[in-house]
Amino acid sequence: MTMNTQGRPTAPTSTSVSDIETVSGSRGLLQAEGLIFEIGTSETTGVDLPAPKNRTGRLGGVARKVPTGLPGLSEPEMVRHYMRLSQRNYAIDLGFFPLGSCTMKHNPRLNEKMARLPGFGDIHPMQPQATVQGALELIDELATWLKTLTNMPFVAMSPKAGAHGELAGMLAIRQALIARGEGETRKRVLVPASAHGTNPATAVQCGFEVDEIKANARGRVDMDMLRAKLERTDDVAGIMLTNPNTCGLFETDIKEIADLIHAAGGYFYCDGANFNAIVGRVRPGDLGVDAMHINLHKTFSTPHGGGGPGSGPTVLSQALAPYAPVPFVVKNEDGVYSLVEDMDGEASESFGRMVAFHGQMGMFVRALAYILSHGADGLKQVAEDAVLNANYIAAKLKHVMTPAFEGYCMHEALFSDAFTADGIETLDIAKALIDEGYHPMTMYFPLVVHGAMLIEPTETESKATLDQFCASLESIARRAAQGDETLKGAPYLAPARRLDETRAARKPVLKWTAPEGETVAAE
């Protein structure tokens, strides 16, 4: 039996854990739980009220004639049902979340406390502006930070996710081209092969055509190909480039790329989702960027994913600022804040409105709390620590896994599957990580790397966490290199084993249907 330093046993000695079957279906203290339709009955209810007296229906002929068939549970059963389900969720507050590209970092509790202050949490977007001056001031202060950190003159605060911010930037570019009388002729947008899928999707959504540029052997934009693509210039609308890119690498030719695009008459859209790698160190405005979204939920914390909120303010250059979406906050000379909501006056050239109100207020509060609690020097350290952590992982694992590219990375470490034995795939490694208690890293993305494994530790993880994670991944990688077939069956310890993920995504079963023979009146 193995013992920890306090003499407590740390692992069972006998049967392999995955072989143990329990009568209840629970495993240890992780409770098995059926669907609410399976455990509840329409006869049960959490309340016990007397039937109302003298009740006359007011629904006329449309009153329901059969029971709803909805399952009922007593209150403690209901509480347990949802508590048990919640424990099936993996969360950043539970363990390390090494997803690359998504930037899952710890969200300080201070952010939550600030977002719940009544002056921010309890206000309504239709309140008179005079009663929400503090909230408008907060939006304006956050906007000032974002403009300062990027060295850009304008920011559209309303987009509600990274992809939405891309849409804002590309619509501003389209509007600028229309204003130049070139809306119909300049349709081609260059997009590197390593781009996040949202980039080409956004370009197409705005009516542009995507022209793909390959990556070179260093994982950066192939400059010869870019120059060849720019031999013809009269149809170029712009480029959508991610920096640092989705291979976790800084685009070293970025200034030349900006110059080439501008000389061709196009605009430079920069996908700023990876801003956490350079915040406080690099100002995208200095690189010739015309538009860039910032994922507040990635760079400045805020829990996201699984449908959680996003916020994608988009900074714009002087050339694009007139076309920014409404609404935006302005500070008047008398110190009063107001919202420019209509497309006249200073917003007369705006491309329009993207959201019903003013953006994602709760996230503005969290982002500003993150920014203020770090300060300018702290934000610089955010970028440095994010890059240090990623390089620590890359260095620890490069002797057992195959780095996708040579040299140092920025905020994420990227490996290919070249080290695995025949028959063992990236998927098997990811599933084995679940048995080790980790959410898998991003797999098979970016597409330019075979069997890609993209790991982003972020600045908020400690060395101890990274060491533990690397020890797990190193042991799995060694098994993968030796062709250990047991990997094909992982995960063994999770409540569900291998799921048909493609079918689940393409043909999701979203509605419960009673098993044959059971009559349920649910409508």
Ligand X SMILES: *Cc1c(COP(=O)(O)O)cnc(C)c1O
Give the interface with ligand X as residue ranges (CB under 6 A): 101-102, 161-163, 196, 198, 242, 246, 271, 273-274, 295, 310, 312
Strands 402-403 and 188-192: unpaired
Dist. CA 522–CA 507, nearest whole Å: 22
Q: Based on CB atoms, which residue is closest to ligand X, 282 or 480?
A: 282
303 vs 312, beta carbon nearer ligand X: 312
Burial of 171 (0-12, 13-18, 19+ CB in 10 A): buried
Nearest residue to ligand X, using CB?
Answer: 162
Cβ-based nearer residue to ligand X, 161 or 172: 161
| Smallest gap from residue 309 Cβ to ligand X (A) | 9
In the complex, least distance from residue 295 CB atom to ligand X, rounded to whole angstroms: 5
Smallest distance, ligand X to C-beta of residue 160, A: 9
For 133-150, b/e burial (b = at least 16 CB within 10 A) is eebbebbeebbebbbebb
Least gap, CB of 21 to ligand X (angstroms):
40
Pull the structure tokens for residue 398.
């490069």
* 194: phi then psi, degrees, rounded to nearest 5: -85, 0
Q: For the CB of residue 191, give the shortest distance to ligand X in the complex, in Å.
A: 11
Q: Which is nearer to ligand X, 248 or 491 (CB)?
A: 248
**274 versus 317: smaller Cβ distance to ligand X:** 274
Helices (H), 30-161: 36-39, 75-86, 109-115, 118-121, 133-150
Residue number, 161 or 361, with CB nearest to ligand X: 161
Which is closer to ligand X, CB of 246 or CB of 391?
A: 246
Host H or E run for residue 454:
strand 453-455
* Nearest distance in Å: CB 274, ligand X: 6
Q: Which is nearer to ligand X, 246 or 317 (CB)?
A: 246
Give the C-alpha separation, 124 to 465, whole Å: 41
Residue identified by tokens 């200034």 is 255
Tell me the closest approach of the beta carbon of residue 273 to ligand X, in angstroms. 3
Decide: 452 and 443 in contact? Cβ < 8 Å: yes
Residue 331's H or E segment, with its range, is strand 328-331
Query: C-beta of 240: minimal distance to ligand X in Å?
Result: 9
* Smallest distance from ligand X to CB 156, Å: 15
CB nearer ligand X, residue 273 or residue 429? 273
Q: Which residues contact 31 (CB under 8 A, 6 or more apart)?
A: 24, 80, 84, 87
Q: How far is residue 406's CA from residue 237's CA, in Å, rounded to a whole number? A: 33
Write the single-letter amino acid at 181: G
Answer yes or no: are the C-beta atoms of 262 and 288 closer than 8 Å.
Answer: yes
Least CB distance to ligand X at residue 169 (A): 11
Sheet holding 442-443, edge to edge: 402-403, 413-416, 453-455, 442-443
Would you say 173 and 180 are in contact if contact means Cβ atoms under 8 Å apart? no
Residues in the chain: 523
Beta strands 267-271 and 236-242 are parallel
Indicate the residue among 246 and 426 with the shorter CB distance to ligand X. 246
